[in-house]
A and B are shown apart, each in its own frame.
Chain A
Amino acid sequence: MRAGRSIALTTARDAVETEIGFTRTVAGLNLIVSDLAPHIALLAQGALLTVEVCVLALAGAVVVGAAIAMMRASGSRLLRGIATVYVDIFRNIPFLVQLFFFYYGLPELGIYVDAFATGVLALSIAGGAFASDVIRSGILAIDPGIVEAAQVYGLSRRTTFLKIVMPIALRLSVRPLGSVLINLILTSSILSTITLNELTGSAKIVASQTFRPFEVYAVLLLAYASLTYLLSIAIARFHRRLNRGVLEAV
């Protein structure tokens, strides 16, 4: 306490902190709760924004991923090449660089979209590269006999792909797509750098308002970890449920 007191004489900020440090030991966890309570609404708003971004980005990533997976499985050499280059580029360049490319680059092209749209777009494109791998291995895991049976029935290539191959491939991909979603959730925190106040962005605001960055970020870390943990359990259950019949084969 003595060292704390001498610091307190020098700066006002430290004085406040010393006092907080003292009461903190007295009140313990209660204080963290009561201190953060007024800001719960803001954090909840941020969390909601994170959920919105991630759900939209997941949908985007699955669409992009399915398209890329189709190209990679196609007979055309050109399409295969384009798809391979796409995946290679977006997996080997940091997401932050990709995000800045779109955030600063799109207005140059005369496309004025807000941070939310830019974030969803960038996440969909990057997530698509990862989702395409997952969906592709889902396609490759399909028993050739199923496709042959569809051909024998006289279904067109298009119908075979959209009604037979894709449903099975996507069903088999639920669990790995879940890991893509969890990755998207973790990556979406980077959107706070382009002024989008999702969960991490709003936590930044709370940390600077309360002067208690450690508690705020520790809670945030726990929140992310428990959220993704629960989500991974739910996804594993969903995957087992959807693939009841084929689980032994996979």
Chain B
Amino acid sequence: MRYADFGPHDIVLLLNGLGVSLTLFLTTSLVGVVLGALLAVVRYYRVLVARELVTFVTEMLKNSPVLVQLFLVFFGIPALFKIDVTPFEAAFFTLALNTAAFVYVIVVSAVESIDREQIEAGRVFGLTRWQVLRHVIAPQAVAFATGPLTALLVNQLQVTSLISVIGVVDLTKVGDILNMRTLKPFIVWTVVGVLYYLAAKIIALAGGFVERRLTAHSAWKGL
């Protein structure tokens, strides 16, 4: 029983796990947001076939379990191409692509929320396509997309817990290890749950703050 109790070391272990979870979350979110936005811009420029291809891939990613995607990348791709993939690499690749698929949809609808007349007016004023994108579409689309994007990121943080299944020692895996050692499931999973909850709340708060700043121009200021 001596080694089965909780010790101060376990706090370090939990924080380590939280660090891994947050690192993966932040990096994959960043890559996912950039990639998703790029894919949406490709759609705007109407490249041949690219649009159909992107739609197909994003629909596949959105409509299948992330766990299966993780298995495909972690077990499937190494077997097919005979390459070594570490759990961390597989997790990074899968989560980034998965986030990109959802970001793509959000950005596309954000771009579509902008009146066609604005784009046409910009073109008539002699702005190039890039200038229209940069100065007319982007500022409004970003303000429009912040809300859904925050909801997505809160969700993606929770999705990172799945990477524990392929062996990444993230917060959930640390919880699993502590659970097996101490045999106190209530305490362990409550603590893990609280940590995830707090992280999710911080993301939601930050997203709300950014959204308020970006939409301040149209906020109700009273009479």
Contact = CB atoms under 8 A, between A and B. Distances in A.
A22 interface: no
Contact of A92 (B68, B72, B154, B190): B154
Task: Provide the main secondary structure of the chain B interface.
Answer: helix
A104 B185 contact: yes
A215 B200 CA distance: 35
A221 B77 CA distance: 14
B75 A217 contact: yes
B80 A94 contact: no
Contacts of A221: 60, 64, 68-69, 72
B189 A213 contact: no
> Which of B60, B71, B193: most chain A CB closer than 10 A?
B71
Contacts of A225: 59-60, 63-64
Given A221-B60, A225-B60, A93 B193 contact: yes
Interface in A155-199: 182, 186-187, 189-190, 192-193
A218 B158 contact: no
B16 interface: no
A190 B162 CA distance: 8
B79 A212 contact: yes
A229 interface: yes
Contacts of B165: 96, 193
A228 B63 contact: yes
A200 B69 contact: no
B71 A97 contact: no
B172 A96 contact: yes
A116 interface: no
A85 B94 CA distance: 32
Given A92-B196, A108-B185, A189 B67 contact: yes
A213 B76 contact: yes
A97 B161 CA distance: 8
Nearest to B157: A94
Given A224-B65, A225-B64, A92 B197 contact: yes
Contacts of B76: 213-218
A247 B102 CA distance: 28
Nearest to A216: B76
B201 interface: yes
Contacts of A101: 185-186, 189-190, 193
A96 B164 contact: yes
Nearest to A189: B65
